[in-house]
Structure 1
Amino acid sequence: MTKLIYNRRKFLGTAAMTGAALASPAYLRRAHAAGGEVNIWTYNNFVPEDFKKQFEDETGIKVNIRLVDDQGKQFNLLVAEATNPTVDIVTVAGHRFLQFIDSELLAPLDTGRLANWGNINPVFSESDWSTIKDSKWGAPILSGMEVLAYNTDLVSPDEARTWDTLFSDKYAGQTAYVLQDMLSIVMLKMGYDGNMVAYLDNPDEAARIVGEARDFLISNKSKVRKYYDGGAEVQQMFVNQDIALACAWNGPIAALMSDGFPVGMSIPQEGSYGFVYTYNIVNNAPNADNAYTFLDAILGSGEIGAEMSRASGFISTYKDAAQHLTDAERAATSFPEEELANMQFFRAEANEMKYKLVDPAVEEIKAA
């Protein structure tokens, strides 16, 4: 495995903007003398081991990682610690921000303390989900998204550029999707806000839009082979050649691609939805300065982002991460800029209203 960061001079010189940055050997000695550490709750493979080792060697800051596997569990752990957290950095998905922010568990992120903030693709760092209450709350690191997955032996790349192909007569009986996910995408395909945030003050319009999407899916029900539930199920349908097309999360499809199965994925021109994992500074973090030092360092190069993507299977948010991936890895974990521009991100502001409408619509489609 290649060394992930860069030479010592560049590592120490990337972020001289504040006392939290990797400013000078003298600062690093002070941090170490203070018993420097940073405590992180994150998912498996989100902190590359080579990066962790070099960061600790160069800064004297010990990185303590506690693995988490669920957003709800992480929230509950943080609530239990209240105003005296033992953690400095947590890993929150962008569409869960409101729950953490409203409970005063996160501190607004001071991007001025991150010299490497500009290394993040603005598709992720400047999207509408990323600013709440006039503040940033996390540094985007990895992303997952709903894609149009297709058997490359049967479906052409041109056909995969539009969701219309999923509902075409040509592939009738050879398609699959998660019904609840598809409702949001159909709303987006129709030109509406599938997050429903735009209709918070107009619930009648929200109900009309969900009804329109419901009716579209009912009218195309005969063309879908199966409404599936999980990633393993859609993988098996592709392997068995039961389907030629599916709306799926990129992770299971990337795994098939890595195994050499003839499947590809696209973000169609009408758009799709995704989520972003972010590193977040905890409110009242015991080692806030070291937390900013860590964040700035891990944002330091596309090579780090590529290793995070390679290890986790998620898509890197770093501008030049794809340059450090093989052709096969790039195909499975990155998208062209023109496709990324079609992305929308899940937001939580209207979830209560949305799912009061969407959940009954799902049952109505199934019963039709």
Structure 2
Amino acid sequence: MSKLILNRRKLLTTAAMTGAALASPAYLRRAHAQGGEVNIWTYNDFVPEAFKEQFESETGIKVNVRLVDDQGKQFNLLAAEAPNPSVDIMTVAGHRFLQFIDSDLLAPLDTDRLSNWGNINPTFSESDWSTINGEKWGAPILSGMEVLAYNTDYVSPEEADTWDTLFSEKYKGQTAYIIQDMMSIIMLKMGYDGNMVEYLGDPEKAEAIVEEAKQYLIEKKPLVRKYYDSGAEVQQMFVNQDIVLGHSWNGPAAALINDGFPLGMSIPKEGSYGFVYTYNIAKNCPNPDNAYTFLNAILASPEIGAAMTKASGFISTYKGASEYLTDLEKKSTSFPDEQLANLQFFRAEANEMKYGFVDPAVEAIKAA
């Protein structure tokens, strides 16, 4: 079977580099025979638009994308539809795997059906977090981290070296963050294990730590302009100058930097968390064959991985993808070693306990 490859003319002429041509006649005849559709729940720009258009044109499979902006909401929606979900592929962060797996919402990934599985960097595809109960549960596509993003015309790099600046009177009404994500960061800032793995045997302490973080964010609520949900939303607030700094995923921030907006990113000295996004197949999904056709196509080449980075701003997990990035794009997806030393990765072992406490706390902060 031939590889699917990127259309190199589009690679050179499309600024966003989101074009991907599927050019394998034998493969495409099989795909055309399938027909039908594939339903995907994912974040904005995780399926580059030109890739989607060409995939549909060359395979005959209609791609229905429903945008999501929160892992908890996605879990609740999928759980409500079980055991017969409307979705085929969803985007689950690696540290949320266990919640979905334990609730019997995901199907193990059959990597034998993915001839392009080897295009993923084994740092991601063969890592401990990606294998649970001896099975693979998702195809790693993009990695990222929680950062402090700031408008460099107003905020200095020195100020952006600490999360305290986000909660300072100086920038009252000019900040924004995602509450659920900030809960983990605030716990880390307070000297606790934001993953809560350390407290698996002591749920009372875990609950008390979440309560402490909750009260902190309630106390600081008068300072924040807005709690937001999506990357596109925080981008628009920066562009409109509604805010000058905020917690952000690195992807949306990198996209603004690549567009020439005066934005900087830091991993503050108190620390932050990294994560990996994966494409997963829902248990009992309605179009499993088309789901595997789509996954194999989007894993086909480093050019497609680079296109996803260019569209989303997150770091590609594909081997060789960085070779297709400009110097500015490479810069917007890298950090100084001293900041990277502040980074931890989200872990899943304590998620049931953690989010059992965190999710109600988030609602309490919003209501306060």
Aligned match of 1:2: 11
What letter matches 2:151 in structure 1?
A: N
Aligned match of 1:15: none
Identity across aligned pairs (percent)? 52
User: What secondary structure sits across from 2:105 in the alignment?
Assistant: coil
Aligned match of 2:7: none
Quote the Cα distance in structure 2 between the aligned partners of 1:91 and 1:146. Answer: 17
Aligned match of 1:192: 192
1:187-224 Cα distance to aligned partner (Å, 9 max, x none): 224553213243232023324544665687799x69x9
User: What secondary structure sits across from 1:278 in the alignment?
Assistant: strand
User: CA 1:273/1:28 → structure 2, altered by over 3 Å: closer, same or farther?
Assistant: same
CA contact (8 A) 2:255 2:311 kept: no
Quote the Cα distance in structure 2 between the aligned partners of 1:33 and 1:216. Answer: 55
Aligned match of 1:355: 358
User: What secondary structure sits across from 1:349 in the alignment?
Assistant: helix
User: What secondary structure sits across from 1:205 in the alignment?
Assistant: helix
What letter matches 2:345 in structure 1?
A: Q
Quote the Cα distance in structure 1 between the aligned partners of 2:75 and 2:211. Answer: 35
Aligned match of 1:292: 292
1:12-64 Cα distance to aligned partner (Å, 9 max, x none): 6xxxxxxxxxxx94x765x358545662324464333554566578xx74322
What letter matches 1:68 in structure 2?
A: R
1:213-248 Cα distance to aligned partner (Å, 9 max, x none): 5687799x69x94363127578647865975x4323
Quote the Cα distance in structure 2 between the aligned partners of 1:74 and 1:205. Answer: 26
1:319-365 Cα distance to aligned partner (Å, 9 max, x none): 44333233444455x2349566724237442244432784599599x
Alignment of 1:84-233 (within 5 A): 88-94=88-94, 96-98=96-98, 100-121=100-121, 124-125=124-125, 129-143=129-143, 145-153=145-153, 157=157, 160=160, 162-163=161-162, 166=165, 173-174=170-171, 176-178=175-177, 181-210=181-210, 213=213, 225-226=223-224, 228-230=226-228, 232=233
Aligned match of 1:322: 322
TM-score (norm 2): 0.68
Instruction: Provide structure 2 residue ranges, at least 5 long, that are not aligned to the other structure.
Output: 1-9, 13-18
User: CA 1:211/1:69 → structure 2, altered by over 3 Å: closer, same or farther?
Assistant: closer
Q: Which has more radius of gyration?
A: 1
What letter matches 1:2 in structure 2?
A: L
Shift of 1:264: 0.7
Aligned match of 1:21: none
Shift of 1:278: 2.4
Quote the Cα distance in structure 2 between the aligned partners of 1:76 and 1:233. Answer: 24
Quote the Cα distance in structure 2 between the aligned partners of 1:185 and 1:299. Answer: 32
CA contact (8 A) 2:75 2:100 kept: no
TM-score (norm 1): 0.68
Instruction: Provide structure 1 residue ranges, at least 5 long, that are not aligned to the other structure.
Output: 13-23
Quote the Cα distance in structure 1 between the aligned partners of 2:305 and 2:127. Answer: 19
Quote the Cα distance in structure 2 between the aligned partners of 1:78 and 1:358. Answer: 21
Quote the Cα distance in structure 2 between the aligned partners of 1:320 and 1:283. Answer: 32
CA contact (8 A) 1:121 1:318 kept: yes
User: CA 1:274/1:349 → structure 2, altered by over 3 Å: closer, same or farther?
Assistant: farther
Quote the Cα distance in structure 2 between the aligned partners of 1:286 and 1:182. Answer: 36
Match of 1:65 among 42, 52, 63: 63
Quote the Cα distance in structure 1 between the aligned partners of 2:184 and 2:106. Answer: 29
